[in-house]
Amino acid sequence: MPPITTLAVFAAATLALLLVPGPAVVYIVTRSVAQGRAAGLVSVAGIHAGSVVHVVAAALGVSALLAASATAFTLVKYLGAAYLVWLGLRKLFSRPGDPAKEVAPSSRSRLFGEGFVVNVLNPKTAIFFLAFLPQFVDPARGPVAAQITVLGAIWIVLGMASDGGYALLSAAFAGRLRRSPTAARRLDIASGLVYISLGAVAALTGDGPRKT
């Protein structure tokens, strides 16, 4: 079990990344604006059912990668960090989009299923679990898979809270979201800076978990 201080730092980093709009947030906002609060919350549930897949994959995959080759793990870490920086630069230089555009209504089962698929295929979530989360794992404190499971559970709890907030706010302010390109651009800039910062932290924080 990671120490409380490690969990606190991880929670802060997780929340910073979760608040940055990515494919999952865009999906939630789009559905909340188009169909209202209930549709947004169902979408959140689907998104974080998908998060469970990432937690299980990280618990099994990172452990296997670490056991196989510390060099391979380090390579994956730096590739993940580079990807986060690339996402940040793309946000900084992107043109404003319209995540609140009109979409056709969907049933709740379809909203849940689409949310699940969106997050299972979400590169932002995959890179976080593969390249960033392992920096908070210490094999000396117990099985790597168990620690990743604990950290993944924190991700899911914080993710449901932050994404639920996006769903509620976007449903409440649907009209304003459609009429605010300036606010969207400012959000892109802030998002880009967060991505770049997290990429730098992932690249510069130690060497990841070490073999015992």
Please check whether residue 211 lies inside any domain of the structure: no
Please check whether residue 128 lies inside any domain of the structure: yes
Please check whether residue 212 lies inside any domain of the structure: no
Tell me what pLDDT residue 212 has.
43
Q: How many structural domains are present in the chain?
A: 1
**Nearest-angstrom CA–CA distance, 170 and 28:** 9
Please check whether residue 210 lies inside any domain of the structure: no
Please check whether residue 162 lies inside any domain of the structure: yes
Please check whether residue 177 lies inside any domain of the structure: yes
Residue pLDDT tens, the chain, 212 long: 778 888 888 899 888 888 877 778 878 887 887 788 999 999 999 999 999 988 988 888 765 665 556 666 567 667 766 776 776 787 678 765 544 444 567 788 989 998 898 888 777 787 788 777 877 887 788 888 888 899 999 999 999 999 999 999 888 877 665 555 665 566 567 656 766 776 676 666 555 444 44
Domain range for 122 is: 4-204
Tell me what pLDDT residue 152 has.
92
Please check whether residue 156 lies inside any domain of the structure: yes
Tell me what pLDDT residue 211 has.
47
